[in-house]
Structures are given as C-alpha cells and as structure tokens.
Amino acid sequence: MPQLSKSGLHLALLDPFNAGHLHFSIIRKLAKLPSIDIVVHLSTGDIQRNIASGLQVQQSPLDNFAPGWRDVVRAQSSKQAMRSAFVQHWIHLVEQTGLQVCDMMYPVRNSKESTMYWLCLLSRHPLAEKLWRIACQFETRRLF
C-alpha cells in the first residue's frame, strides 16, 4: 500500500481461501485510499458451515472476517437466518469504513447450481456500482 498513489484509481480483488483468511483489518486499510473499489469473494458456504460451531467456541476464524459478529447472530435461529445476520453485520462494518456494499452480489455456483460464494463490490463512486450491475447481468458465466 505505501507504494500506491493516493491520487490513483485502484481496484483490489480479495479472494481468500475461506472467510477466516480475510481479516477485516485489510478492508479497513484499503478503505483509507480515497479512490478504491474492492471486489470481495464472500465465502457464504464457509460462513454457513462454520457459523453454528463458531458460536460454541471462544475463538473462531469468522472473528477475523467480521469482528463482533457473535453480538448479532442468534444461536436459536436457522443456519440461513444466522448467515443473513452475519452478512448484514459484515456489511455494516464495511459501511463504517466509508465504502458502500452493492446490494447486487454475483452468485458463483458449482456444477450442481449450488451457490459456493458471492462476489460483491465495495465502492464509493456510483459509476463503479453502475458498471458492476451491468456486468452481473451478463448471460455468460465466463465473465467471472
């Protein structure tokens, strides 16, 4: 980051192996650049698999991705409701950095059409969101 121009336009692609590998501090640091857009691989499958067990232990890899998530996720909810609350908490954390999370997330599916993860855009400028929405509507899956 020290080598990046503060006046330059930047695009960061964050593609962690799983949610726990993407520490939220990385997004906080990148958000300090005035002109940056970030595409994040949001590992919903990993979140869904690990959210219930993460509530039962003191330390979870999900703590790195969305600090404070346990305060908003309720153990008595369904896994889907827990995942939704978790993602909403993460979105709130992102928005506290000054970036906006586009509400259109691109689902990446496997050969059985199950969603493996979402690609989501974090940006400040409306043009980035406009271009993202157009790209997400393409019929071809080869784009991503």
Residue 142 domain flag: no
pLDDT in tens, the chain (144 residues): 888 888 889 999 999 888 889 999 999 999 999 899 999 999 888 888 889 889 889 999 899 999 999 989 976 678 888 988 999 999 999 999 999 999 999 888 888 888 888 899 999 999 999 999 988 887 655 555
Cα separation, 49 vs 64, whole angstroms: 16
How many Å from the N-terminal Cα to the C-terminal Cα in the chain? 26
Residue 106 domain flag: yes
Name the pTM for this structure.
0.88
Residue 44 domain flag: yes
Residues 6+ apart with CB under 8 A from 110: 116
3's tokens? 């080598």
> What total number of domains does the chain contain?
1
